[in-house]
Amino acid sequence: MTAAKVETVPVCIIGGGPSGLLLSQLLHLQGIDNILLEKYSRAHVLARIRAGVLEHGFARLMREAQCGERMDREGEIHRGFHIAHDGVLDHDDLYKYSGGNSVIVYGQTELTRDLYEARERMGGKVVHEAEDVALHDLTGKPYVTYRKGDETRRVDCDFVIGADGFHGVSRRSIPRDMLVEHERVYPFGWLGVLSRTPPVSPELIYVRHERGFALCSLRSQVLSRYYVQVPLTDRVEDWSDEAFWEELKRRLPREVAERLVTGPSIEKSIAPLRSFVAEPMRYGRLFLAGDAAHIVPPTGARGLNSAASDIYYLYHALLDHYKKGDDTGLDGYSERALARVWKAQRFSWWMTMMLHRFPDDLSYNVRLQQAELAYLFSSEAAKRVLAENYVGLPF
């Protein structure tokens, strides 16, 4: 093993997903040097299939990062969505009830690709396959060590940003007695299929059905993403394409099922549903962002968007530190980020509880779900609350 190579930058970012890349790009544009360390290869990161419903605030942040051109050209603007339940297909007009806002459906893989290309175009410092990453002296003068092949490297920095996901090293570098973790694991998962077929609807359709939840989503006009709720004991191998399409049709309203175009799956996976929050989101000069600090069920499309709000707060806090000598934003980061995180948790929990079938559900709970949906679509105030949360609360 060779001696450690040392590099000095103001900010070291751990994690090469969209959160870390977006912050790296924004800081670079402001002249704040940074390096990003990613455990896996670029190809591995871009092979991850994730949802892509972007809040209007996230879309603005992508444009500010000079990465929004393809998103604006190819993304699908959605001004509403449907909820199928109890034999009816109700519609929520996001644009009307949120005061003129909407969301953009744009795959997370494509968004990540755009960010990677921007970092490459600008000569950004991105290190892939950085192994054995370790964080040191987080309450003093921090530094990060990692291994690249047979070479040990060290990064001296002012701040470390942990955007390396739930299983990453960043949160685990905080002493256990300094961290409080809140978690709820749901007793089911989502079986998702990606297919090269036209979407069944120009807008998303959420489905509450006695057989379980379903969702009709899309990536483009020729690429569709569908989900059905399954027990945690199910395996992908248990589900042939034919079995998946048959089950999805059972849960859809008849008029929707009749126009569903099926085809071979490009990707098929089962995602468990979990709610998780770690508090605080700062320890010394380490700041957590995205899945490193919080996870939501995908029901309300808040996961990627909650990460974006973390990046918004961190970006402006670091700007104030380096441009104005003002640490107010850094000192208040955890409290400010968590306030919005918990609102996103509440919304995702509410959507999940309202639309899924729970094992051994009491008839009382089923009737509550029906009453909740009936109220939602009979109340202008309830529609506004749903729309406001879905398009994104203010940063």
- Taking 80 as the threshold, does the pLDDT of residue 1 lie above it? no
Report how far residue 347's alpha carbon sits from residue 344's, in angstroms, rounded to the nearest whole number: 5
Percent of the chain whose pLDDT exceeds 90? 95
Percent of the chain whose pLDDT exceeds 70? 99
Confidence label for 3 from pLDDT (cuts 50, 70 and 90): low
pLDDT of residue 47: 86
- Taking 90 as the threshold, does the pLDDT of residue 272 lie above it? yes
> Average pLDDT over the chain, rounded to whole?
96
- Taking 50 as the threshold, does the pLDDT of residue 339 lie above it? yes
Confidence label for 395 from pLDDT (cuts 50, 70 and 90): very high
- Taking 60 as the threshold, does the pLDDT of residue 65 lie above it? yes
Q: Determine the average pLDDT of the residues in 33-50.
A: 92
- Taking 60 as the threshold, does the pLDDT of residue 388 lie above it? yes
What tens digit of pLDDT does each residue of 107-133 get? 899 999 999 999 999 999 999 999 999
| Structural domains of the chain, with CATH | 2-77+102-183+274-353 (3.50.50.60), 186-273+358-391 (3.30.9.10)
Lowest mean pLDDT of 140-144, 188-192, 359-363, name the range: 359-363
- Taking 90 as the threshold, does the pLDDT of residue 96 lie above it? yes
The backbone region for 380, taken as left when phi is positive above 0, alpha when psi lies in -120 to 50, beta otherwise, is alpha
Q: Determine the average pLDDT of the residues in 355-372.
A: 94
Give phi and psi for 383, each to the nearest 5.
-65, -35
The residue type of 147 is R
Confidence label for 2 from pLDDT (cuts 50, 70 and 90): low
pLDDT of residue 87: 86
pLDDT of residue 220: 87
Q: Determine the average pLDDT of the residues in 99-103.
A: 96
